[in-house]
């Protein structure tokens, strides 16, 4: 069993990862500013701000796996990449592995094709900052991080998020940086967490961008697509 720290462990993606990790018997710590609405027994919930490097260092120290389930939204939008770099630096210093919850738009529709993020003309402008900030982490920041950092960036299918929670099917499809469902697909938080924990436990991906898809999207809300 591993010691796993989930940054943003009370959010949409983070709470599902915390639940799956705890159910598998891992020792889980979650960091967020607010307490969880439905705490999971056995999970250590720490309240703090990731922009506070000392608070970040305290929850990362001694852990084996760091999960970043933070989102480039609200007050975290502007400092998101800087916070991500601090997370990467502290994770490497702790000798831990870093797994990040990413976005769909950093994927490619086909091998060798441009990533979706290179053409956001069909996506509402309000979502562009979140999409580009998140994608820059896997396109620019992680590949240029020191070799000591072992990272895996896990993009979900296009239809993923609190606006479309979905049910647990108990399965998923895993791909590299080419979308397993290029024409629109969905994955629920519990199925994404299933694949996410399988990746952590296998530990066989290193400095890699992967994606998890599942079913056809029952209802694709294009205006909400991050
Ligand atoms: N289809 C897609 O591509 C898609 C869809 C949805 C999400 N995503 C990606 O998935 C990731 C997670 O998104 P999400 O929807 O799960 O986010 P979310 O529900 O908003 O959760 C964010 C988490 O981070 C915590 N947090 C926010 N600011 C913090 C701070 N300053 N210090 C400490 N904790 C903080 C929040 O708790 P507090 O507010 O209490 O601090 C919460 O636990 C993002 O990278 C997002 O882009 C992708």
Domain range summary for the chain, segments of one domain joined by +? 3-224
pLDDT of residue 183: 85
Q: What integer pLDDT is reported at residue 166 of this predicted model? A: 83
Q: Tell me the CB-side half-sphere exposure of residue 138, using CA atoms within 13 A.
A: 30
- How many angstroms separate the alpha carbon of residue 68 from the centre of ligand 1? 9
Nearest CA residue ID for atom 34, ligand 1: 32
Distance 12 CA to ligand 1 centre (A): 7
Mean pLDDT by 10 residues, the chain (226 residues): 97 98 98 97 98 97 98 95 98 98 98 97 93 97 96 96 88 96 92 98 98 74 46
* 45: phi then psi, degrees, rounded to nearest 5: -100, 115
Question: Can you give the pLDDT at residue 165?
Answer: 81
Helix (H, G, I), strand (E, B) or coil at 139: helix
Distance from C-alpha of 149 to C-alpha of 103, rounded to nearest angstrom:
21
Q: Is 184 in the pocket of ligand 1 (CB under 6 A)?
A: no
Short-list 223, 217, 197, 199, CA closest to 209:
199
Ligand 1 centroid from CA 25, angstroms: 24
At residue 191, the pLDDT reads 96
pLDDT of residue 215: 74
Q: Which CATH architecture has domain 3-224?
A: 3-Layer(aba) Sandwich (3.40)
What is the Cα–Cα distance from 116 to 97, expressed in whole angstroms? 27
Which structure tokens are listed for 123?
């996506």
- What DSSP state is assigned to residue 221? -
Count of CB atoms situated within 10 Å of the CB of 223:
9
Position 201 scores a pLDDT of 98
CA–CA gap between residue 1 and residue 22 (Å, rounded): 10
State the pLDDT at residue 217: 62
- What residue owns the CA closest to ligand 1's atom 7? 161
Q: Which residue's CA is minimally distant from atom 25 of ligand 1?
A: 8
Which runs of E-coded beta strand occur in the chain? 3-7, 27-32, 44-47, 65-68, 97-101, 150-156, 173-175, 208-213
What pLDDT, on a 0 to 100 scale, did the predictor assign at position 218? 55
C-alpha 115 to ligand 1 mean position (Å): 22
Pick from 5, 6, 8, 156 the residue to mutate for probing ligand 1's pocket: most ligand atoms within 8 Å of its CB.
8
Q: What is the pLDDT of residue 81?
A: 97
Specify the residue with its C-alpha closest to ligand 1, atom 48: 103
Confidence at residue 223, expressed as pLDDT on a 0 to 100 scale: 46
What was the pLDDT predicted at 221? 45
Please identify which residue in the block is written with the tokens 């120290």.
61
Query: What is the bridge-based pairing of β-strands 208-213 and 173-175?
Result: antiparallel
């Amino acid at each position: 069993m591993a010691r796993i720290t989930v940054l943003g462990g009370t959010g949409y993606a983070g709470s599902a990862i915390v639940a799956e990790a705890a159910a598998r018997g891992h020792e889980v710590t979650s960091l967020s500013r607010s307490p969880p609405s439905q705490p999971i027994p056995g999970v250590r919930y720490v309240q703090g701000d990731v922009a506070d490097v000392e608070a970040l260092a305290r929850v990362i120290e001694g852990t084996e796996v760091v999960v970043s389930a933070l989102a480039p939204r609200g007050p975290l939008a502007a400092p998101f990449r800087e916070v991500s770099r601090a997370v990467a630096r502290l994770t490497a210093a702790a000798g831990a592995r870093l797994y990040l919850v990413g976005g769909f738009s950093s994927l490619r529709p086909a091998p060798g094709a441009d990533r979706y993020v290179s053409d956001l003309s069909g996506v509402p402008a309000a979502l562009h900052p979140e999409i580009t900030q998140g994608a820059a982490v896997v396109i620019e920041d992680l590949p240029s991080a020191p070799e000591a950092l072992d990272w895996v960036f896990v993009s979900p299918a296009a239809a993923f998020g609190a606006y479309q929670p979905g049910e647990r099917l108990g399965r998923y499809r895993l791909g590299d940086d080419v979308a397993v469902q290029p024409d629109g697909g969905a994955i629920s938080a519990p199925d994404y967490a299933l694949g996410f924990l399988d990746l952590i436990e296998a530990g066989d991906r290193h400095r890699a961008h992967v994606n998890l898809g599942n079913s056809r999207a029952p209802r694709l809300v294009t205006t909400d697509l991050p």
